[in-house]
Structure 1
Amino acid sequence: MAKLVSVVVIGGSHAGLAVSQKLLRQTARAKITLINPSDEYYFNIAAPRFLVKPKSLPPSRYLYSIPDAFRDYPADRFTFIKGLVTEIDYATKSVSVTLAMNSAGATTTPPTAASFGFDYLVIASGSTTPATLGQAGVRLPFKPTAFEDTRKAIHEAQEKLSAAQRILIGGGGPLGVEIAGELAEAAGPKKVTVVSRTSVLLEGATAPVQRTALSLLHRRNVDVLTGVTVVDAVYEAHTQTWTVKLSTGRTYTVDAYIATTGTIPNNAFIPKSFLNAQGWVNVDKELRVLDNGVSRSDTYAIGDITSYPYRLLSRVPLQGETVAANIVGAIEQKGQVATYSAKAQKKMMVVPVGQSTGTGHLGDWTLFGCLVWFFKGKDFLTYKGPKFLLGQSS
């Protein structure tokens, strides 16, 4: 039997799972090594709902075992490594990994190191946020982080938001509007204020959607300040409150300051020659990584980490299909090339505002509140979690 081709996938979230599952289904000649800091797939899309309303969704709806999702494949076809990639070495065609304590290959209590060779590499390391890292405002796990006990982080965030009565949200984008809508409906008296840098909510959305978002928040007694930025936010430990200074000169004292802006690429291990000025990975139309402007035949990038704008979950399936098709084509020498076009996918925004309504658009079509509820608001897309886990969403 011919030697299996080694494909290393860095990142076990939506994008990394998509390409891993598709490769395993499309060719029997590849051995997939999936590397991720956590052995759980975190369906973070639903975070605004379960962080604010813990009883609305059980953890089984947004946390899934990654190894279990691949249990039907033999060991010579798939390996999961719980660890953090620290370096890519093209001289040896390998990646260096700091292993978690209970990962395969980790034999000591402190984290240890290992390396894994590859013929093809897929970078799907994604992104994080200042709030996730605790760099701005209350630490909220909008994204997974390295070696974090995700369940513990979620529980701590739920406790903080439950106890808070005065809340200021920095950012009027989809995440800011969604979490404001959830907080306005949460148990207990809460005074919620949203601060938007732009003159409208949901920048980039159509005008009717922007107006609807503002109206829905006002109806829920949420104060909205537009054309205003947060200049500084300081946590006062002795009072357990936040002092938030705005660009207008006004200062708010609140129980929780939630920062919903800012996206940070998970790129510490990625060669600088792959990155644009903002730190995202440059790719060509085949999703091959550009190394100083030249396409690499052995390395692909997919998902949030790429330089494509509009980092939307809806774009992951097609990207996964593109990368899988190109790697399979190379392995089996089919000579066919798949290409990806972000412009070919309609721009979509679906924003629940509370449990029963919301706003959004698909292309130029405005979505009524009942449609937003049906497609996302009723359970924040958690019904799609298992499909993304198995790389079956489209």
Structure 2
Amino acid sequence: MPEKTVLVLGGSLAGLQITHRLLKHTLPHEPDLKVILVSRNSHFYWNTASVRAVIPGLIKDEELLQPIEPGLGQYPAGSVEFIVGAATQVDKHAKTVEVETASSGSRTLRYDYLVLATGARAADTSMPWKASGTYEDCVEALHRTAERIGRASHIVVAGAGATGVELAAEIRFEYKDKTVVLLSADEELVGGDSTASALEWELVHLGVEIKKGLRSEGVEELDDGKTQVSLSTGDKIVTDLFLPTMGLVPNTEFLPAEYLDDKKFADVDAEFRVKAAVEDTWALGDVVSKPRPSIPETDAQAAGVAKNIDLALKGQTQVPIKGYPVDVFLCTTGRHRGAGRLGWFRTPSIAVWAIKGRTLGTERTAKTVNGTSL
């Protein structure tokens, strides 16, 4: 039988889960399957814990970043190929992807089935909240940010989504002598989620200064090394350190325009197939952000897309992919507390700590690169 190639673009949580699921569960009954994984980063990055990793001395680099390639060595020779590089163009008619590799220049990769799992990056790529470059870039961003936080006496965190709330709390939890200001563009934290009031109480209790209805509209580095932040009201704040957390930019610049929605995310149907690609291309994770970016949603989507690829290889009908059965939102406020909900049910602070805050999920780093959690 001719070889069937599944090309997976992106080595984050979504891409690695698809790769391991296909090799563990589909390869045994599809021996001619080959999976090619392309990742800009040689290492998998558990970015969920980045808000704590920027507090000096709390989390080691290897708890967040582990090499991808060794985990693929468990599979039969010839069944998987790992390429460090970035996709630059997709030709849906020729069924090829141009990839600029880290070691051998440009390559043209042919696929039978394509999976888009390239994720999204932080609007400010100097921040370590998302993997925006190579392994070395991630490590440098983490260390640089940690060093600057350690030196600063006054810190402004811009953006009161989950990342901004958790970051402000982690800093203030560790450093009671630092002034931490959280800017929220909205009148409520975390976009008005039902946990907003509980999270606000937690932050105020920690001593975080919350300024609502204010948006940062520009920053200027001053001669004395401080940063001047211009606010939407026309006022200005002078701070030792400005940490933006707002904004998520999908990594879709290389895709045909017809693959994208009006916000440049991949546009998918109920089976998570890219609508304009019809039958041979799926997308999942932050590159879709449907219904919203979250680990439980990505886990559910990866299981569903892997199943649909398995069905496609068998010539069977695709099935709609259901998200995580309960809408889960958990937000930590330092190393001992947090607020959250499971659906409409409020989660006690101690439960948020037990589920998320205790480790921020770092135990999943090794399990993800090795596929042992699947």
State the TM bucket, normalised to the shorter chain: over 0.9
Would you say the 8 A contact 1:140–1:153 is kept in 2?
Answer: yes
Q: Secondary structure of 1:203's match?
A: helix
User: CA offset at residue 249 of structure 1?
Assistant: 2.9
Pair 1:340 & 2:321 matched: yes
* Corresponding residue number in structure 2 for 1:27: 26
Would you say the 8 A contact 1:48–1:179 is kept in 2?
Answer: yes
- Deviation readout 1:41-71 (Å, 9 max, x if unpaired): 00000000111x2322212211111001111
Change over 3 Å in CA distance of 1:390–1:284 after alignment to 2: farther
* Corresponding residue number in structure 1 for 2:313: 331
Q: Which amino acid aligns with 1:125?
A: T
With the length of structure 1 as denominator, give the TM-score of the two structures. Answer: 0.90
Would you say the 8 A contact 1:8–1:34 is kept in 2?
Answer: yes
Pair 1:145 & 2:138 matched: no
C-alpha distance in structure 1 between counterparts of 2:330 and 2:289, whole Å? 22
Change over 3 Å in CA distance of 1:392–1:283 after alignment to 2: farther
- Deviation readout 1:15-37 (Å, 9 max, x if unpaired): 00011111111222310000011
Pair 1:276 & 2:269 matched: no
Pair 1:211 & 2:197 matched: yes
Unaligned runs of 5+ in 2: none
With the length of structure 2 as denominator, give the TM-score of the two structures. Answer: 0.94
What fraction of aligned residue pairs are identical, expressed as a percent?
Answer: 28
* Corresponding residue number in structure 2 for 1:352: 332
* Corresponding residue number in structure 1 for 2:149: 161
* Corresponding residue number in structure 2 for 1:248: 233
User: CA offset at residue 276 of structure 1?
Assistant: 0.7
Q: Which amino acid aligns with 2:246?
A: T
Q: Aligned match of 2:208 in 222, 226, 249?
A: 222
Q: Secondary structure of 1:345's match?
A: coil
The equivalences for 1:372-383 within 5 A come to: 372-383=352-363
C-alpha distance in structure 1 between counterparts of 2:218 and 2:62, whole Å? 37
The equivalences for 1:254-265 within 5 A come to: 254-265=239-250
Change over 3 Å in CA distance of 1:316–1:393 after alignment to 2: farther
* Corresponding residue number in structure 2 for 1:130: 123
C-alpha distance in structure 1 between counterparts of 2:246 and 2:207, whole Å? 22
Change over 3 Å in CA distance of 1:315–1:259 after alignment to 2: same
Would you say the 8 A contact 1:13–1:41 is kept in 2?
Answer: yes
Q: Report the count of equivalent residues.
A: 369
Q: Secondary structure of 1:233's match?
A: strand
Q: Which amino acid aligns with 2:214?
A: V
User: CA offset at residue 392 of structure 1?
Assistant: 5.2
Pair 1:311 & 2:299 matched: no
* Corresponding residue number in structure 2 for 1:109: none
Change over 3 Å in CA distance of 1:312–1:182 after alignment to 2: same
Would you say the 8 A contact 2:42–2:134 is kept in 1?
Answer: no
C-alpha distance in structure 1 between counterparts of 2:261 and 2:143, whole Å? 36
Would you say the 8 A contact 1:282–1:307 is kept in 2?
Answer: no
Q: Which amino acid aligns with 1:37?
A: R
User: CA offset at residue 352 of structure 1?
Assistant: 0.7
C-alpha distance in structure 2 between counterparts of 1:203 and 1:90, whole Å? 37
Q: Secondary structure of 2:146's match?
A: helix
Change over 3 Å in CA distance of 1:140–1:166 after alignment to 2: same
Pair 1:115 & 2:108 matched: yes
The equivalences for 1:49-198 within 5 A come to: 49-51=52-54, 53-101=55-103, 106=104, 112-131=105-124, 133=125, 139-147=126-134, 149=136, 150-187=138-175, 189-198=177-186
Q: Secondary structure of 2:274's match?
A: strand
Q: Secondary structure of 1:91's match?
A: coil
C-alpha distance in structure 2 between counterparts of 1:168 and 1:277, whole Å? 32
